[in-house]
Structure 1
C-alpha cells in the first residue's frame, strides 16, 4: 500500500512515518522506486506505539527491533532484553507512584488542617 493509505490505517502523519523510516523502525519494500507498506509495517507501527505508551523511548524500540531482526522474534536474547527494559520501566513507575502517594498525603493533610480552621 502507498503511504497515504498506510497513514490512514495507522492514524498518523507522513512526517512520523518518515522519521520511523530514518530510525529503521518501519522498513517498507521498494517497488518501482516507490515505497510499499505491508501488514508487517502496520504491526510494527502499532508495536512501536504500544512500547511508547509504557514508557519506552524510540532508542529503546530501536534496540528491541534490532534484536528482533538479528536474533529472531522468540530469541532468548530478545526476551531477556525486553524483560530488563520492562523491569526498569516498572521501577520507574513504582517510584512515580510513591512520589504521587506522598504528594496525595500532603494535600490531604493540608485540606484537613484547613477544614479545622473553619
Structure 2
C-alpha cells in the first residue's frame, strides 16, 4: 500500500460525486472504510476505495440496501482474491439479474415521467398565455 497514492476525503468526494457526510456514513456502517489515516486523523482512501465508492453510488439508485451493497462488495472481493467457488459466481449472477430488473423498472418510470412531461408541454402550448387557466370538472 506504500506505493499506492492516498487521497483525502475531500478529493474523494469531488472525484466520486458524493458528499463528505455520505462517505463518512459509509465508513460508519463499515461499507467503505478508509484504508488509512494521516497522523492528524484525516481519512485516506486508495484508488480501490474510490472504485468501491463509485460502485456503491451506482447501486444506490437501484435501491440496494446497505446489506446488499456490502454483500456485493464482499462477493467481488472474493472473486478478485482468485479463490471463488461457483456459489460466489452464482450469487453475483443473482445480484446482476436484480440490478437489471431494477434498471428495467427505472426505465419504465422514466418513460412514464417523460410521457407526462410531454403531455404537459402539449397542454401548455394549447392554452392562451394570458389570464388564469380554467379548471375542468
TM-score range, shorter chain: 0.5 to 0.7
Gaps (5+ residues) in structure 2? Answer: 1-6, 112-137
Residues matched between the structures, number: 99
**C-alpha RMSD of the superposition:** 2.9
The correspondence for 1:17, drawn from 11, 23, 32, is 23
Q: Distance in 2 between matches of 1:4 and 1:93?
A: 30
> Contact 1:25–1:44 at 8 Å: present in 2 too?
no
Q: Is 1:48 the equivalent of 2:21?
A: no
Q: Are 2:3 and 1:6 aligned?
A: no
Structure index of larger Rg: 2
Range moving further from structure 2, 21-30 or 84-93: 84-93
Gaps of 5+ in 1: 101-118
TM-score by length of structure 2 reads: 0.56
Deviations 1:71-91 (A, max 9, x none): 242634432212112334555
- Write the distance in 2 (CA, Å) between the matches of 1:15 and 1:2: 14
TM-score normalized by the length of structure 1: 0.63
SS at match of 2:37: strand
Asked whether 1:81 is paired with 2:91, we answer yes
State the 1:95 CA deviation.
7.8
Identify if the C-alpha distance between structure 1 residues 52 and 77 changes in structure 2 by more than 3 Å, giving closer, same or farther: farther
Shift of 1:92: 6.0
Assess, with a 3 A threshold, how the Cα gap between structure 1 residues 31 and 78 changes in structure 2: closer, same or farther. Answer: farther
Query: Which has the larger share of helix?
Result: 1
